[in-house]
Structure 1
Amino acid sequence: MKLTVFGATGGVGHEVVRQALAAGHEVTAVVRDPARLDVPAHDRLEVAVVADLTDEESLVPVLTGRAAVISALGAASNKQAKAAPVTGPAVRAILAAMDRAGVTRLSAVSAAPVGPDVASDGIFTRAVFLPLLRRALRDVYADLSVMEAAIGASRAEWTVIRPPRLLNRPRTGTYRRAIDANVPRGRVIPRADVADALLTTLTDPTTAGHALGVAS
């Protein structure tokens, strides 16, 4: 499969690129700075430098002829998201460019706090921990909510992945999943497993048009 990966220099994004290449896919990794791409050169890897991800015109060439798109974009910090939201505006431009390029399949990473609470998680988690977390990172989650709304209103065949706290650990492939819900007591997940979810949902029709909670 020919894939375009946005956010390829991030913690999840570089795992997506590595795993996609290992699985035999052809990958176009979209980056601002190619020096930050922590992936060895490969004959099935194309690195495309795009300075402005909100520039629809510059995105069409990196999407034309591709079978699917993965967005591993995310706001780096609450301060940065408050100053200039990143993910929502970029994904809106990506969706418009996908329409023009004739690409329909999209898998995008979001975050568990954007999704619904889990009743079985207990009163402390639902009434204290999550409200504090959502307040502390409100601009990050607001940006991701804008992204999810744009995806949901689009004509794309989409899946949104909502992980909890991310860890730098090896891929297990045995994480839990919940359709249109968060995983009960889902506290952490390796970035490599989030990358696995982004990739595997591309060929899983049961996830199309749904948000997928994932956690270890």
Structure 2
Amino acid sequence: MRLTVFGATGGVGQEVVRQALAAGHRVTAVVRDPARLTVTGSGLEVVRADLTAPEALRSAVAGRDAVLSGLGARSRKEAGVASRLTRAVLHAMGAEGVRRVVVVSASPLAEPAPGAPLLDRAARSVLWTVLRDIYEDLREMEGELARSATDWTVMRPPRLTNGPLTGTYRTVVGGNPLRGRTLARADVAHAMLTATADPATVKQPVGVAY
């Protein structure tokens, strides 16, 4: 497939690029600072672009089979980044007729499942109190996707780690895996690439965790 990756210099984004290239896909990595992208490969095209300018992103998504995004705030000071930049990506996709998009959100966006442990319910409440600005930004991003004409999938991992790729994790369409509290960034990327070709995840949020 021909894929475009936004947020390609982040922890999840670099894993998406690395794994996509290893699988034989052609990858366009859209970055603000090419020096921060450490992944290389013969099937890689690196595009430097202003992510706030939708028209400048059109050439990066034109003719692609899917778009994958690891865009998001790295701190509370950056709250608003996910929805604002995703809005620009969706505009560019719409202008070029590209429909498939898979993005990263977060597990606290889902309501606790019936039977969820009290510890997990309490942790979600604390996280929402402390990181409300970031989660409201992600909620708005998910709303932008839901209102769009794209075939979107939202991946909702829990706390991210830098563990190795395992390819072994649980997914729940429309919810979160019970007691799923961590996931390596490498496995988030694996789940995103897997979902790209899975019609069961289209227009759905997907919880993913160990």
TM-score (norm 1): 0.95
Kept after mapping to 1: 8 A contact 2:5/2:17? yes
Distance 2:84 2:42 in 1: 32
State the match for 2:135 in structure 1: 141
Given residue 132 of structure 1, which amino acid in structure 2 is its aligned partner?
A: V
Poorly superposed stretches of 4+, deviation over 4 Å: none
Paired with 2:181 and 2:27, the residues of 1 have a C-alpha distance of 31
Shift of 1:5: 0.1
- Residue 43 (str. 1) matches residue 42 (str. 2): yes
Deviation at residue 173 of structure 1 after TM alignment: 0.7
* Alpha-carbon distance in 2 for matches of 1:111, 1:136: 14
CA displacement 1:192-211 (0-9 Å, x = unmatched): 01000111111111111111
Structure 1 residue 27: deviation in Å?
0.2
TM-score, normalised on structure 2? 0.97
**3-state SS of 2:8 partner:** coil
Cα distance in 2 between the residues matched to 1:193 and 1:182: 15
Look up the match of 2:58: 60
CA shift for structure 1 position 148: 0.2
**Superposed displacement of residue 102, structure 1:** 1.2
Report matched runs for 1:69-108 at 5 Å: 69-81=67-79, 85-108=80-103
Work out the percentage of aligned pairs sharing the same amino acid.
52
Residues 145-174 of structure 1 show CA distances to partners (whole Å, capped at 9, x for unaligned) of 110000011100111100000010111111
In structure 1, distance between residues paired with 2:114 and 2:203: 23
Q: Aligned equivalents of 1:69 and 1:191: distance in 2?
A: 18
> Gaps (5+ residues) in structure 1?
none
Q: CA-atom RMSD, angstroms?
A: 0.9
Kept in 1: contact 2:64–2:98 (CA 8 A): yes
- Distance in 1, matches of 2:49 and 2:31, equals 6
Which residue of 2 is the match for residue 109 of structure 1? 104
Partner SS for 1:54: coil
Distance 2:123 2:29 in 1: 36
Task: Judge conservation of contact 2:117–2:179 (CA < 8 Å) in 1.
Answer: no
1:130 Cα offset (Å): 1.3
CA distance in 2, matches of 1:55, 1:130: 34
Query: Is 1:172 matched up with 2:166?
Result: yes
Q: Could you give the per-residue CA deviations for residues 5-45 of structure 1, whole angstroms, max 9, x where no partner exists? A: 000000000000000000000000000000000212x2210
The count of residues paired between Structure 1 and Structure 2 equals: 210
Deviation at 1:121, TM superposition (A): 2.1
Equivalence for 1:5: 5
Give the whole-Å Cα distance in 2 for the aligned partners of 1:23 and 1:59: 25
Distance 1:154 1:67 in 2: 17
